[in-house]
Amino acid sequence: MRLRYKILSGFFLLVAMLIVAGSFSIIEFSKISKSVEDLLEDNYRSIEASKSMLEALEREDSGVLLLLHGNWKEGREVLRYGDSLFNSSFHIVQNNITEQNEEAYIDTIKKRYSKYKSLWERPIADTDKENNLNWYYSKSHEEFNAVKKAVKELMGLNQKSMYQEATDLKEKAKRAIMPGIVAIFSAFVFVFLFNFFINHYFITPIEKLTKELENYNPQKTTLTTKIETRDEIGKLKEAINSMIQKIKQNQ
């Protein structure tokens, strides 16, 4: 192979190594970016919505207590706000199903909430339920806890998935960094190797040829420096030998 191609191949391989390492790092970082996006888009949104649902339920529970104490206007106001908040949050989780079995959890919440809502939707003021704490503890509070539990389970599912995703992210980050580290180490070794070949096949023979020409013995007909390759340096030696022979012939 010609000298220029040998040197070019060295640089080409070095560049190839960097391109490969760079490409793989980019792919892995893209995966991380996607994972972060998924983490925020999927699980975090559902967790926030679940928190809002829990807040809405707490408000509704307070609203029920206000109704029981005869503050029907204020109670209805609080219940309306709680219901609106719950529905809007429920809408978010309903349209953000990302985990396996998440739909079943949402269905449970829906059923439990409908049951809970049916308890306080009907009039309480001026009925036997007014000031009836037994009704509150045996019916309303029990259903309130059941819905709360279902929402918490949904939140737990998303939190667990978020934790898993975060653990995977750590692994992905490592996978993104490692090609870079390997590339740096490989490039380091490669430079040494390249330097060795350049020295062995190009620099040293040229130095030897130069030294032999400097100490040239006119009685010699050919150069004794050993050239291992059949590239330009080998041809240079042959050319010098040919020149020496021509000079000898002319003498």
Partner 1 sequence: MRKTIIFRHLGLILLFNSFFLFISAAISGVLDETSFIPLLYSALIAMLFGVFPLIFVDRTYDIQSKEGIFIVVSGWGISCLVGMLPYILWGGEFSLVNGWFESVSGFTTTGSSILNDIEGLPTGLLFWRSSTHWIGGIGIILFALLIFPKSGTARHTLIRSELSDMSTKSFRTKTSSILKVILYIYVGLTVLEVICLSIAGMSLFDAITHSFGTIATGGFSPKNTSIAHFDSLTIEVIIMVFMVLSGMHFGLHFATITGKRRNLFTSAVVKYYLIFLIIGIGLVTLKLYLSDFGTWQESLRYGSFQVISLGTTTGYATIDTAAWPPFTQLILIYFSIQCACIGSTSGGLKFDRILMLLKSIKKQVQVFIHPQAVIVKKIDKIKISNEIEQFFLTFTALYLVVILISTFINTFLGVDLMTSFSASVATIGNVGPGFAGVSSLGNYADLPSLSKFILTITMLMGRLEIFSILSLFYLRSWR
x/- track of binding to partner 1 for residues 28-67 (CB under 8 A): x---------------------------------------
- Residue 2 near residue 227 (C-beta atoms within 8 A): no
Residue 4, token pair as written in the block: 């220029």
Residue 19, token pair as written in the block: 């391109």
Write the burial class of residue 118 (CB in 10 Å: 0-12 exposed, 13-18 middle, 19+ buried). exposed
Site for partner 1 in 175-194 (CB under 8 A): 175, 178-179, 182, 186, 189-190, 193-194
Figure out which of the listed residues 16, 184, 203, 247 binds partner 1, where binding follows CB under 8 A: 16
- Residue 209 near residue 223 (C-beta atoms within 8 A): yes
Q: What is the CA radius of gyration of the chain?
A: 41
Indicate the residue among 6 and 152 with the shorter CB distance to partner 1. 6
| DSSP letters spanning 53-119 | HHHHHHHHHHHHHHHHTT-HHHHHHHHHHHHHHHHHHHHHHHT---STTHHHHHHHHHHHHHHHHHH
Q: Is 80 in the site for partner 1 (CB under 8 A)?
A: no
Stretch that binds partner 1, among 15-23, 49-57, 78-86, 156-164 (CB under 8 A): 15-23
Figure out which of the listed residues 2, 4, 11, 13 binds partner 1, where binding follows CB under 8 A: 13
Q: How far is the CB of 210 from partner 1 (least distance, A)?
A: 22
Site for partner 1 in 221-240 (CB under 8 A): 228-230
Residue 222 region by backbone torsions, left for phi larger than 0, else alpha for psi between -120 and 50, else beta: beta
Residue 174, token pair as written in the block: 């490592």
Q: How far is the CB of 100 from partner 1 (least distance, A)?
A: 18
Q: Is 203 in the site for partner 1 (CB under 8 A)?
A: no
Q: How far is the CB of 17 from partner 1 (least distance, A)?
A: 6
Interface residues with partner 1 (CB under 8 A)? Answer: 1, 6, 9-10, 13, 16-17, 20-21, 24, 27-28, 171, 174-175, 178-179, 182, 186, 189-190, 193-194, 196-197, 200-201, 228-230
